[in-house]
Structure formats: C-alpha cells, structure tokens
Structure 1
Amino acid sequence: MSHTTKEAETMTFEESPETVAQALQHALLGDDLPDSFTLLGREWDLHRGVFPGTLSAATEVMASTVPYPKGGSFLEVGCGTGVISVTAALHGCASVTALDINDKAVANTIANAERHGVADRVRVLHSDMYTALGPGDRFDTIFWNVPWTYVEDDFSLSTDLHTAVFDPGYQGQARYITGAPEHLADGGRLLLGTADLGDRERLDALADGAGMRCELLHRVRRIEEVRVMEYHILELHPK
C-alpha cells in the first residue's frame, strides 16, 4: 500500500498537455525572448531551446528553498539553465554535478557557471538520468525539479523541451527514485521538487514500490498569471 499523507490530498493534475505545449512552442520559437533573464538578484544567460527559468516561479522557489549541503556534494538532475546548480555552488557546496538530457541545457548551465565564477566547482554532463555518472560518483544531496505534468506512457516527446515538463507515466520519476541509492553518499538526502499539479498519489506509489516514503519538507505558494501555484519539496526516506 502506498504511503499517502494529508498533504498529498491537495495535489491534483489539472494542467492540460495542450496548455503546457503552447508555452513550450513559444520557448522554442518565440523571437521576442531575450538572451538573458534576471532571477534571485542575478542575471542569467538563456539559450534558445532551454526551458526559461521565469516561465513559472518553480525555478526561483526551488533554488531558494533546497537545503544545499554546505561544504558537501550536490547533484542536480535536469539542470536546465543551471540556476539551481550554480546557486548550490554559490551557497557553499564544495562540488556540484549538473545533468541534463538536453545538450542545449548542458551548454546553458556551463555558460551560467562561468558567468557567476563557479565553473571550477560545477561539473556539467549530458546525461539521460544517471547514465553519465560513474559507479563511484556519490553525493550528499540529490535533487530534481521534476516535470510534474502527467501524460500517458505513449505520449510523444517530440521536442527537447517536452522532457522539461512532461513525464509519460511518471517513468522518469520512477527511474530517479530507484537509481538514486547507487549515487547517494552515506547519510545522503534524496529530494524532489514538484507542485500541486503533480499526481502525488502516483508518486507515493512509486516511492512505496522502491521501499521509500515521501515527506513534505517545504510548501511554497506563488500567485501566477492564471492561478495560485503551490510548490512542494519532498524528501524520500527508506521505510
């Protein structure tokens, strides 16, 4: 039986793939997008074909709320523009590894690590989940701001940006959970960023199947263009 908390009951999955796809189309092709953006009091490079960190408040919320292991090692899956990985280095992580399946996001994160003077502490790898890591790569904290929009298993991920917001059948989140123990240091923390648009019941079932349970660490609300969004940081623990 899955571990379902009272908080889980507030999470829904109402956002339509069509609505999300419209935003992605603009991020891919919109000629009015700038080549940089301001977030967390800093300026960041934005490469075309990378999910912009300001389309929603998710990046700002997660970057501001993640409990970075000061003096330790941090792994981010799905680094996008690199805001969270660079912020981790700026907040005192001794080493940061950033992974993304989109090669444009890899280049974007490298550019932002250089821009903010932390390129010596941020390693960026083109990777499908953990595939680019070696067996000895272990981290004090692993984090992924997941693509919480649920679509069926046969949904076609037709662009690089689709992987930033769609997770067919939550297969990606299943791989994230089951593959993490191989790369967690002793006493390491496994974190997941999501939102109330995610399917928490399905996520809890995935965690349960991997012998874990989800604990809500932080809940942050932001008033956005069409609704109040509620962002969640979860920590996964062995049962």
Structure 2
Amino acid sequence: MTDPTEEDVTMTFKEDPETVARTLRHALVGDDLPDSFTLLGREWSLHRGVWPSTLSAATEVLASMVPYPEGGSFLEVGCGTGVIAVTAALSGCTSVTALDINEKAIANTVANAERHGVSDRVRALHSDMYTALAPTDRFDTIFWNVPWTYVEDGYALSTDLHTAVFDPGYRGQARYLAGAHEHLADGGRLLLGTADLGDRERLDAVAEQTGLRVELLRSVRRIEEVRVMEYYMLELHPK
C-alpha cells in the first residue's frame, strides 16, 4: 500500500479495447463461469450478464479503500454484483442506495443484499446515473468505481456490460461529477475509484469544467495475472 503524491499518479497505461471486448463476451456467454464467488471473506452470488467482481482485484481493493460513513447514508453508482453496496451496509451505513444501468446488476445486488441480511438497509434501483433518485435524496457519501478504459466518443457500447469498462469521451464521468451536488448532503463526500488504465489529465479537465478539483486519497498496487495494477481512490472538492 502506498500514498503517493499527485505528481506520482499518471494513469496513462493503455489497454486494447478489443482485448477488453473479448473479456466482456466471455462474461456474457462463458459456460465456465460459476454462480458464486468468494471475496472479502464472504460468498457472493453472480448472475450471468453482470461484470464478475473477480476478473480483476478492483472490487476487492476499492471496497477496502472506501471511507464508509458509519451511521450515515451511502450511494453507489454502478453497483454491479453489489459487493461494495452490501459491504457499506455491513460496515455500519444505515442507508445504502445502489444504482446501475444494467437491470441484471440490480437483481444481482438485491440477491446479495438478501444473502448477507442487509435488505432492510440496501435499496437497488435501475438508473441511468442519478435518474431514478428523487430530488430530495441526499447522501453522506457518493461513490463510483468508474469505467477506466478511455475510448473516443462514438465507440459502440453494444451490451450493458460495455458500460462497466468503457466511458466514451469520459461523458459518463462528466455526468457523475456534474450531477452529484444535487444529491450530496451538507458536508458530504464525493468519491471516485479508478486505476492506472484511466486518463488522469482528462479527468482533471472534466472536474475543472464542473468546478471541482481532484485529490488523491489512497493508492494500492496489486500484482495481477497480466501486470502490476495500481488502483486509486480519489475525492472531488469544490474549487
């Protein structure tokens, strides 16, 4: 575990979109995928058509890095299998809302909330970013493990799973930052989880356009199958 300065964070490692697309196809139709997996010392249900949380260390690492607001409310955008949303409830959050554009991910999150006995504290909503929230919904912490792989505007997102790893032109991250203020409680925290596959310079520019600055809270380096990956927990502040 390291805590580098901002100057150490480059986030410029390039990933071939076609290689990622092959992984997505396997996640959609691979007959060898199990119905459950073990992560963070717990067993989790996995529904076909949802990004498996163990294809990389991202979910495990970021779930361990999030500063959950104990006794407070937590919003996760892009909940996937629901590991982080459920972990938030198990970590003392009294109210957790999980959003995802993929309806299969919502069903998967509901199943895992039931599996771990936190259905009373976790609601999962099918949502394109914040659209399913009421105008009065406010949260002490908002978090998104964003799609890291940068592709240009116009890149075809042909399945729901493509939105889990591709963010054409970082338009999704721009919407996340621009809309968060409407749902942050007073003194609330806006967090973003990413990795060295991201484009930090572009992210900084997106934040600048929404009147925010990016602060590195923590980084974690993990040795994975292909290479060493570095994960980042970022916090956004008004300028």
> TM class by shorter-chain length?
over 0.9
User: How many positions carry a matched residue from both structures?
Assistant: 235
Q: Which residue of 2 aligns with 1:113?
A: 113
Q: Could you tell me which amino acid in structure 1 is paired with residue 237 of structure 2? A: H
Could you tell me whether the CA contact under 8 Å between 1:13 and 1:150 is conserved in 2?
no
Could you tell me whether the CA contact under 8 Å between 1:77 and 1:144 is conserved in 2?
yes
Q: Could you tell me which amino acid in structure 2 is paired with residue 112 of structure 1? A: N
**1:165-212 deviation line (CA, Å, top 9, x unaligned):** 000000000000000000000000000000011000000000011111
For residues 207 and 170 of structure 2, the distance between their equivalents in structure 1, rounded to whole angstroms, comes to 11
> Which runs of at least 4 in structure 1 moved beyond 3 Å after TM superposition?
none
**1:59-99 deviation line (CA, Å, top 9, x unaligned):** 00011110000000000000000000000000000100000
**1:39-73 deviation line (CA, Å, top 9, x unaligned):** 00000000000000000000000111100000000
Q: Could you tell me which amino acid in structure 2 is paired with residue 193 of structure 1? A: G
1:16 CA displacement: 1.0
Q: Could you tell me which amino acid in structure 1 is paired with residue 188 of structure 2? A: G
1:11 CA displacement: 1.3
> Is 2:198 the counterpart of 1:198?
yes
Taking structure 1 as the reference length, what is the TM-score of the superposition? 0.97
For residues 180 and 164 of structure 1, the distance between their equivalents in structure 2, rounded to whole angstroms, comes to 19
% identity of equivalent residues: 82
**1:132-179 deviation line (CA, Å, top 9, x unaligned):** 000000000000000010001100100110000000000000000000
For residues 168 and 135 of structure 1, the distance between their equivalents in structure 2, rounded to whole angstroms, comes to 27
Could you tell me whether the CA contact under 8 Å between 1:7 and 1:216 is conserved in 2?
no
Could you tell me whether the CA contact under 8 Å between 1:214 and 1:237 is conserved in 2?
yes
For residues 106 and 153 of structure 1, the distance between their equivalents in structure 2, rounded to whole angstroms, comes to 27
Q: Which residue of 1 aligns with 2:77?
A: 77
Q: Which runs of 5+ in 2 are unaligned?
A: none
Q: Which residue of 2 aligns with 1:90?
A: 90
> Is 2:15 the counterpart of 1:6?
no
The Cα RMSD (Å) is 0.9
Taking structure 2 as the reference length, what is the TM-score of the superposition? 0.97
Q: Which runs of 5+ in 1 are unaligned?
A: none
Q: Which residue of 2 aligns with 1:168?
A: 168
For residues 210 and 13 of structure 1, the distance between their equivalents in structure 2, rounded to whole angstroms, comes to 25
1:116 CA displacement: 0.1
Alignment of 1:84-233 (within 5 A): 84-233=84-233
For residues 225 and 18 of structure 2, the distance between their equivalents in structure 1, rounded to whole angstroms, comes to 17
Q: Could you tell me which amino acid in structure 1 is paired with residue 218 of structure 2? A: H
Q: Which residue of 2 aligns with 1:17?
A: 17
Could you tell me whether the CA contact under 8 Å between 1:142 and 1:189 is conserved in 2?
yes
1:14 CA displacement: 0.5
Secondary structure, counterpart of 1:197 in structure 2: coil
